[in-house]
Amino acid sequence: MTEIRKFAASASDSVEWRDLVALTPAEKAWELMLGLPWLAASLWCYRHNWWWLGLPCSFYFFLTGLRQSHGAQHYSLGLPKMVQDVVLFILSVLMLASMHAVQVNHLHHHRHTLDETDGEGATARMSWWGAILAGPLFYYRLHVSAWNKAGRSKRTWIAAELTAIAVLLLPCLGALDWIALRWHVSAMLAGECFTGFFAVWTVHHGCDAHEPGRTQRGAWLTAFSYSMFFHAEHHLYPAVPTPHLSELAARLDRVMPELRQKAVFDLKWGREHPF
């Protein structure tokens, strides 16, 4: 993988990417509204006890929420910084984790990818089933690690988000019979416990600290995953927003086709590392 290491060191000079940074007004609106249909559909299904339909909708709400949160963490949604901080706050309440805590760890992950201080990347060194089993602990450690790393401003956001989450959970765990809310909370907590596997292990397993991560190709996979597996491209060019990563990948393929050899789905899950 020497070529990838060399490419990562001179990435900004190898591919034109600056024209991909800006989002059009329609793209900004699309990014902000991305998860709302899935959230509404899931709550409607749960309200009518159609949990077998609600759970897939919750999965896609969580996936689109990760995409929205990821863009806001990098302030790449094309909106004022404060607006993107508010987006993170709202997503924190809906997804039951402090997205500013995720932001603190994620930006540290970009600076120290897979080294001994990279708490976000810890599950990448496990087997796939180890990453799943470590999920609840990953969820807890994410918040503790972020609090220890954060400055005053980020700690204020984290505290506010965790307080707001607690306010949501109280009626859910109390006597009120809000069946839709209870299903939503359960689905989101499950999603958070799978984050160490789904959002970290899948895109970094079998990689070392000098590699940008794994990637994806294929129109169907891109559509079904909402472009969330263009991770190598994201690490090389973190300023490029998610809607434009497929175009970035096409440009990279023309100058460095070997980058796509490390695919997210490579049929070798769990063989590289023991628990």
List the beta bridge partners of residue 221.
none
- In the structure encoding, which two tokens stand for residue 67, read together? 């995409």
pLDDT of residue 177: 60
Angle (deg, nearest 10), helices 51-73 and 36-47: 150
Q: Is 130 exposed, middle or buried, given 0-12, 13-18 or 19+ CB atoms closer than 10 A? A: middle
Q: So what's the pLDDT on residue 4?
A: 45
Q: Of 33, 11, 4, 23, nearest to 242 (Cα)?
A: 23
Residue 274 CA to residue 127 CA, distance in Å, equals: 5
Q: Is the dihedral of CA 269, 223, 104, 6 positive or negative?
A: positive
* Residues 29 and 17: beta-carbon distance below 8 Å: no
pLDDT of residue 174: 66
The closest of 272, 136, 130, 269 to 192, measured between CA atoms, is 136
pLDDT tens, residue by residue, 86-142 = 999 999 999 999 999 999 999 999 999 998 899 999 999 999 999 999 999 999 999
pLDDT at 257: 84
CA–CA distances in Å: residue 105 to residues 15, 146, 157, 181, 215: 28, 6, 14, 28, 21
Ranges under pLDDT 50 in the chain: 1-5, 269-275
Cα(3)–Cα(139) distance, integer angstroms: 35
Which tokens go with 263? 């695919």
Residue 274: predicted pLDDT: 40
